[in-house]
């Protein structure tokens, strides 16, 4: 029997209305702190964006509606490759291009302030 709680699910979501999409991974398992799995009771967990510490899903099961007091918007299922792209793009923007909307996903995108990519 395949239990849906043993699978990893990938999502794209927004933290705010009109904000950039971020990658979210959910699974049913032990908490992860700084990339290391702890020996704790299993629960629904979520990795949001490029974080290495998982967050508890407070509302929703494998579909993360509320994660640690943050309501996610526009949640859509995606593939693992799409999730990896969103996380990699977020890491790059945070490190090398702080003017990109992906560097601060908790703020709505202001198209009047965006600079052309060339």
Tokens of 10: 């990938």
When divided into structural domains, the chain yields a total of 1
Residue 1 pLDDT exceeds 50:
no
- Digit-coded pLDDT (tens) for 46-77: 889 888 888 888 887 778 888 878 888 999 99
Pick from 24, 113, 8, 9: nearest CA to 74: 24
- Digit-coded pLDDT (tens) for 77-115: 999 999 999 999 999 988 998 888 888 888 888 888 777
- Digit-coded pLDDT (tens) for 18-44: 999 999 999 888 888 887 888 888 888
Q: Tell me whether residue 67 is in a domain.
A: yes
Provide the whole-model pTM.
0.83
Q: Tell me whether residue 112 is in a domain.
A: no
- Digit-coded pLDDT (tens) for 96-105: 988 888 888 8
CA distances from 99 to 20, 23, 87, 104 (A): 13, 19, 17, 9
Q: Tell me whether residue 115 is in a domain.
A: no
Instruction: State the residue range of the domain holding 41.
Output: 4-103
Residue 102 and residue 90: Cα distance in Å, rounded? 5
Q: Tell me whether residue 27 is in a domain.
A: yes
Residue 43 and residue 68: Cα distance in Å, rounded? 13
Question: Are 30 and 38 in contact, with CB atoms under 8 Å apart?
Answer: yes
Angle at 93 between CA 66 and CA 13, to 5 degrees: 25
Q: Residue 6: which pLDDT band, with cuts at 50, 70 and 90?
A: low
Q: Which pLDDT value is given to residue 70?
A: 83
Q: Which pLDDT value is given to residue 38?
A: 84
Backbone angles phi, psi at 73, to 5 degrees: -120, 155
Q: Tell me whether residue 38 is in a domain.
A: yes
Residue with tokens 């009771």: 41
């Amino acid at each position: 029997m395949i239990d849906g709680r043993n699978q990893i699910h990938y999502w794209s979501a927004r933290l705010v209305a009109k904000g950039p999409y971020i990658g979210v991974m959910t699974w049913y398992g032990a908490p992860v702190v700084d990339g290391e799995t702890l020996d704790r009771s299993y629960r629904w967990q979520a990795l949001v964006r490029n974080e290495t510490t998982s967050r508890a899903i407070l509302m929703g099961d494998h579909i993360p509606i509320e994660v640690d007091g943050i309501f996610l918007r526009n949640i859509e299922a995606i593939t693992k490759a799409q999730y990896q792209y969103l996380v990699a793009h977020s890491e790059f923007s945070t490190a090398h291009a702080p003017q990109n909307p992906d560097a601060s996903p908790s703020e709505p995108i202001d198209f009047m302030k965006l600079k052309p990519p060339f």
